[in-house]
Amino acid sequence: MTEYDYWKIFPRMPKKVTIGDITVRDGFQHEEKFISTSAKIFYAQEMILAGAKEIEVTNLGNPEGIPQFRDAEQVMTALRSDAFKKRCARKGVDYDSVVMTAVTIREAAVDRAVELQKRGIGPDRVLMMVSTDPEHHFANSGTTLSQYWREAERCIKKAADVGMKMCGTVSTIWGSPITGATKLEDAVEFTKRWLAIGANDIEHADHDGSASAAQVYRYFSMIMDAMPDPEAHLCHLHETKRVASASVLAALQAGIYRFEGTIGGLGGQPANFLDDCPVRGTGEYYYKDARYVGLITLEDLLVMVDELGLEHGYDVDRVLWLGAKMEKTIGRRLRSEAMCNGRTLKEGHMQYARPGLSKLIEKLGEKPGCLVPAEWSPTAVLPEKWGPAAWKKA
């Protein structure tokens, strides 16, 4: 007999997930207009109040390259304020359990995070990134991989000295937008390298939508075989072909339970234009049409895991409400389907029921809830030949 229990088929599959929100950082970095400081603070705080336990709040890199985050210190100050802590307490949110992350690609950004930490407004966690494709890595960081590994090792110690965690990101796992195909084995080795030099956890990243479900399952199975602690691993997927939800399911089947997304599927490569002025960003874009680039949509991801019956800790309706607000902030239709169509309600939508069914049942003398004629057998009996076998010529 076929096994119908999904968790018996995939014994590593979790029943509880952690979904991080990276809208204010990765989502906004792709926008070619400046998102106000007030909006950044609003969405970061509201997502925490809606249930986010892991959240990226800014990029501490040089604002000359990514001016979207020239207000990083203001955002951090608001998130560390006593007023917000009191608001969390009133809403029953454990403020101390929330992990706030700032991206710090280079050492100067880590140094900045250290200084903010000493002033009481620093992040809980910082993030550095390597790509298994040396060309993509150079485009992101301006260094060779060997240079960067040495720099990351220094930065991990600096962060640890002031009580900050370091997330080591491995990128271009399933392919590079510059050089194409990459080797999964290289990404597994890079993961081990990060842990060997003291990284606290690893973000496994698809940065251009290259991932497919089969390869995602294969890769995370390799990861869980080699380093079988799911808390150490975080899945970061981009959405360019509308197939990332299949990859999420594949990662779940392999035993991964930490994911992240952005409201409306915002995000991608740092913008090289802001308001009315070209900026450095990370150079020319890797894609042809910005409408079809971004991360997996947080609203859709959340509804998906909710309807799978997985625990997640979010107020789903509040997140869908924030998704609608985000479209006004950004000024265009975003990519969430769940934000428009809502959740599948088990109680249905009885307002659409047609009047008169109960009267017709009564008129015909049928019993309420009867699904087949009363004189039929309780269960169907298949004939000896049925379906194609009954009508196809031999």
What would the pLDDT profile of 140-171 be if each residue is shown by its tens digit? Answer: 899 999 999 999 999 999 999 999 999 999 99
Q: For residue 347, what pLDDT band results from cuts at 50, 70 and 90?
A: confident
Helix runs in the chain, H state only:
6-9, 28-29, 37-50, 72-79, 82-90, 107-118, 134-141, 145-161, 184-196, 213-226, 244-254, 298-307, 316-330, 338-341, 357-364, 388-391
Q: For residue 75, what pLDDT band results from cuts at 50, 70 and 90?
A: very high
Q: What pLDDT, on the 0 to 100 scale, is given for residue 329?
A: 98
List of long-range contacts for 338-342, beta carbons under 8 Å, 24+ apart? 338/297, 338/299, 338/300, 338/302, 338/303, 339/264, 339/299
384, pLDDT greater than 80: yes
The phi, psi pair for 260, rounded to 5°, reads -150, 155
Classify the C-alpha dihedral 65-70-73-79 as positive or negative.
Answer: negative
Cα–Cα nearest to 240, from 188, 271, 286:
286
273-274 vs 277-278, strand pairing mode:
antiparallel
For residue range 287-328, list pLDDT tens digits in order: 888 778 899 999 999 999 999 999 999 999 999 999 999 999
70, pLDDT greater than 80: yes
The stretch 245-253 carries a mean pLDDT of 97
- Using DSSP's 3-state secondary structure scheme, residue 16 falls into strand
- The encoded tokens of residue 171 equal 């990128």
Please report where in the chains the tokens 């890595």 appear, as a residue. 137
The phi, psi pair for 252, rounded to 5°, reads -60, -45
Q: What pLDDT, on the 0 to 100 scale, is given for residue 186?
A: 98
Q: What pLDDT, on the 0 to 100 scale, is given for residue 184?
A: 98
394, pLDDT greater than 80: no
- The encoded tokens of residue 244 equal 């990332």
State the fold for domain 15-341. TIM Barrel (3.20.20)
CB contact at 8 A, 360 and 354? no
